Amino acid sequence: MEYNIALLRGDGIGGEIVDGAVSVLERVGEKFGHTFKFTPYLIGGCAIDATGEPLPEETVKGCLASDSVLLGAVGGPKWDSQPGDKRPEKALLGIRSALGLYTNLRPAKLYPALRSASPLKDEIVGDGFDLMIVRELTGGIYFGDRGYREGKYGQEAYDTEAYSVTEIERIGRVAFESAMKRRKRLCSIDKANVLESSRLWRTTMHRLAQEYPEVEYSDMFVDNAAMQLVRDPKQFDVIVTSNMFGDILSDEASQITGSIGMLASASLGDSNRGMYEPIHGSAPDIAGQDKANPIATILSAAMMLRFSFGLSDEADAIERAVDKVLDEGFRTADITGGNCEAIGCREMTERIVNAI
């Protein structure tokens, strides 16, 4: 089979980690008889430098014409002075919206080899944890009305949180279906004691729960969820929540796994086309120094194979290769703990390629 993949390397370490994932996909293609065609497009700060826009129309058209999209990272202090609608991060919201990607899947798994890298105590970590955060991606406060106005104390800024029943239902169904494929437990995170949008969220999720009697369903306030993730992460299987809460909680979940450089993500909509990216940022301070961790991007490529292309055996091969290299004691600089050998981005990629 031939698959067309749009590459959005972006800024900072984006090029290094995306190139690492490309090497891994090329190895998978050789072993399993697939052809992956890669077409690069500009996004973020590099797009601003080249075109004046963080998300050029050519990039949107290219992604829409692809079978799927692999993204590195965007942003950096170079573009901090840009107005809000011209910042590199604006491109992420724009491409998600253009591709109709309303679901973000963020797995958080503590690999046995990385137990010593987790900041949690051994008695909390136990034999590890494996949870999935399902984040609504194209609604909520990130997409609501915003602006400046005169307020009680002079000029003030505002951002609006809004959710429709339709938006909640579609992300809720994704979460329930995900739970059905895992351990059949789902926790919905909201702030229904304060926010009207959360009260609608909770009411809608309760109604959906009646359609999935096999799933053990529960609600939790977001402040409690933030505490519970570090107190007892093993209690969670699938978590579903809004755009902003999911953004925050998934970063917290990533850190308790030992490094944010390990966490992949998949952004999905109603078609097979998705956008796959690590959840970390562009890390401009280490760009070009061969210090980046490519594993999150490589695991994102594995998610692409699984969710967009239906290539589960190929995805399993990548994940087993990552496990093998970590079990052999190799680490990039962001992963601490244990008596291990520190290697760079290129060598980590090469070892994973050779392990497939």
> One of 67, 237, 247, 334 is an active-site residue; which one?
247
Q: Is 251 a catalytic residue?
A: yes
CA distance 276 to 209: 28
| CATH code of domain 1-103+283-356 | 3.40.718.10
Residue in the structure block whose two tokens are 């490589």: 298
Q: What is the pLDDT of residues 305-334, one digit of tens each?
A: 999 999 999 999 999 999 999 999 999 988
Residue 142 CA to chain centroid, in angstroms? 16
Q: Is the pLDDT of residue 337 over 80?
A: no
> One of 80, 145, 159, 223 is an active-site residue; which one?
223
Q: Is the pLDDT of residue 224 over 80?
A: yes
CA distance 174 to 155: 41
Q: What is the pLDDT of residues 29-68, one digit of tens each?
A: 999 999 999 999 999 999 999 999 999 999 999 999 999 9
Q: Is the pLDDT of residue 181 over 70?
A: yes
> One of 251, 290, 291, 323 is an active-site residue; which one?
251
Distances (CA, A) of 236 to 17, 146, 228, 322: 30, 34, 9, 24
> One of 142, 163, 212, 276 is an active-site residue; which one?
142
The CA radius of gyration of the chain, in Å to the nearest whole number, is 20
Q: Is 290 a catalytic residue?
A: no
CA distance 220 to 228: 10
CA distance 10 to 298: 16
Domain extents in the chain: 1-103+283-356, 119-256
Identify the pLDDT of residue 59.
98
Q: Is 11 a catalytic residue?
A: no
Q: Same fold for the domain at 1-103+283-356 and the one at 119-256?
A: yes
CA distance 10 to 92: 11
Q: Is the Cβ–Cβ distance between 7 and 304 less than 8 Å? A: no
Q: Kindly state the helix (H) or strand (E) to which residue 331 belongs, with its residue range.
A: strand 330-331
Q: What is the pLDDT of residues 262-292, one digit of tens each?
A: 899 999 999 999 999 998 999 999 999 999 9
Q: Is 212 a catalytic residue?
A: no
Q: What is the pLDDT of residues 87-130, one digit of tens each?
A: 999 999 899 999 999 999 999 998 888 888 888 998 888 888 99
Residue in the structure block whose two tokens are 């290697």: 343
Q: Is the pLDDT of residue 194 over 80?
A: yes
For domain 119-256, say whether CATH 3.40.718.10 is its number: yes
